[in-house]
Amino acid sequence: MPFQYLKSIKVAHRDLKCENILLDSCDNVKLCDFGFARTINNGELSSTFCGSRAYAAPEILRQIPYDGFMVDVWSAAIVLYIMVTGVMPYNYDKPRKMLNQQLKHKISFPKLIFLSNDVKGLIFHMLHPCPAERLTYQEIVQSKWLVNTPFYIRTESMAFTRRKLMSAEVFVEKMNGSRD
């Protein structure tokens, strides 16, 4: 998990969002856009408003000093929610309503999508409004959902899509090379 590595070198990303998480050809996760990243010494808090509002933890929205690693956990939960549902968990067009939902720990999941209780629980605990109550990186990687769901199942649909795109590219190359 890249977040564990970042914490080991005392760096908080502070701008995690779908656009800043990439996969290489072997499905290894790569983070990009470290423009808001900063080195954090033990217990040091940040106060800069940074990142994207839709992915921002309540403490950032409330403009109170925050733990950069815990806001990364929050943002990672937003990304995970989007990955498994296809939608944002909160309506970020209405910032006050979004903050109220976050502070009340209200999270709903689309009814038409089957999600295991394990992944719902993981997201719920990563999105705890109190940073001290949020899951740590270690707890996340040891969560039931990550431990019990084989990696190939979690990435199978991505690999299938990639294979389809690659075969389409080969077809287009052949068509462009033909003289008919």
Q: Within this chain, do residues 81 and 169 fall inside the same structural domain, yes or no?
A: no
Contacts by residues 83-92 (CB-CB < 8 Å, ≥ 24 positions apart): 83/18, 84/113, 84/115, 84/119, 84/123, 85/109, 85/110, 85/113, 85/115, 86/110, 86/113, 88/54, 89/123, 89/127, 90/54, 92/53, 92/54
- Whether the per-residue pLDDT at 171 is higher than 60: the answer is no
C-alpha 154/C-alpha 84 separation (Å) is 10
Q: What domain range includes position 159?
A: 151-180
CATH number of the domain that 142 lies in? Answer: 1.10.510.10
Q: Is 24 part of the annotated catalytic residue set?
A: no
Q: Within this chain, do residues 92 and 104 fall inside the same structural domain, yes or no?
A: yes
% of the chain at pLDDT higher than 70: 82
Q: Within this chain, do residues 58 and 138 fall inside the same structural domain, yes or no?
A: yes
In terms of Cβ atoms closer than 10 Å to its own Cβ (0-12, 13-18, 19+), residue 151 is exposed
3-state secondary structure 112-126: CCCCCHHHHHHHHHH
pLDDT mean over 12-38: 91
Q: Within this chain, do residues 84 and 167 fall inside the same structural domain, yes or no?
A: no
- Whether the per-residue pLDDT at 14 is higher than 70: the answer is yes
Q: Within this chain, do residues 165 and 123 fall inside the same structural domain, yes or no?
A: no
Catalytic residue among 15, 24, 27, 33: 15
Most confident of the following: 68-82, 137-151, 153-167: 68-82
Q: Within this chain, do residues 102 and 165 fall inside the same structural domain, yes or no?
A: no
Rounded to whole angstroms, what are the CA distances from 58 to 47, 67, 90, 123? 13, 12, 12, 15
